[in-house]
Amino acid sequence: MTRRAGLGLCAALAALLLAGCAGGVADRIAQRQEAFDAYPADVQARIARGQIRLGDDKDAVWMVYGNPSETLRRTDRDGVTEVWIYKILGFSDSVYPTLRPVFVDRFGRRTGTYYIDDTPEYEWKEALRVEFTQGRVSAVQLSE
């Protein structure tokens, strides 16, 4: 990963997390106020700050991060694990930079030359993965 792409990914991840921690969390808490009120005071304070921990339920994760970009289920010998995946828009490493043809020069003449286009391309990248076993957070993975 290039430094520029890394910085862009970090900035986008920070924006995602800050968006989840700002007005978004308060709005989602208001939508599930009954579930929020059922938590002990220390858990309520943690959720309001935008923090989750192992053992939290799906409501707590939803209040902090909102709807996942993608969900999947994995079945193994320990049972069924539900995975919530959150994605952000980041730089694509696979298509940057690229050669682009120049068809018309500045005088309006057709040319057969190429130039290097260093405009970054974007793609959705996984930023956060939360796994639930028996309805409780069993693993949290934050992508770098």
* C-alpha–C-alpha distance, residues 128 and 71, integer Å: 12
Q: How many domains does the chain have?
A: 1
* C-alpha–C-alpha distance, residues 21 and 15, integer Å: 10
Whether residue 118 has pLDDT greater than 50 = yes
| pLDDT tens digits, one per residue of 6-48 | 444 444 444 554 444 445 999 999 999 999 999 999 999 999 9
Domain that holds residue 59: 3-142
Enumerate the β-bridge partners of residue 82: 73, 132
| pLDDT tens digits, one per residue of 54-66 | 999 999 999 999 9
> pTM of the entire structure?
0.65
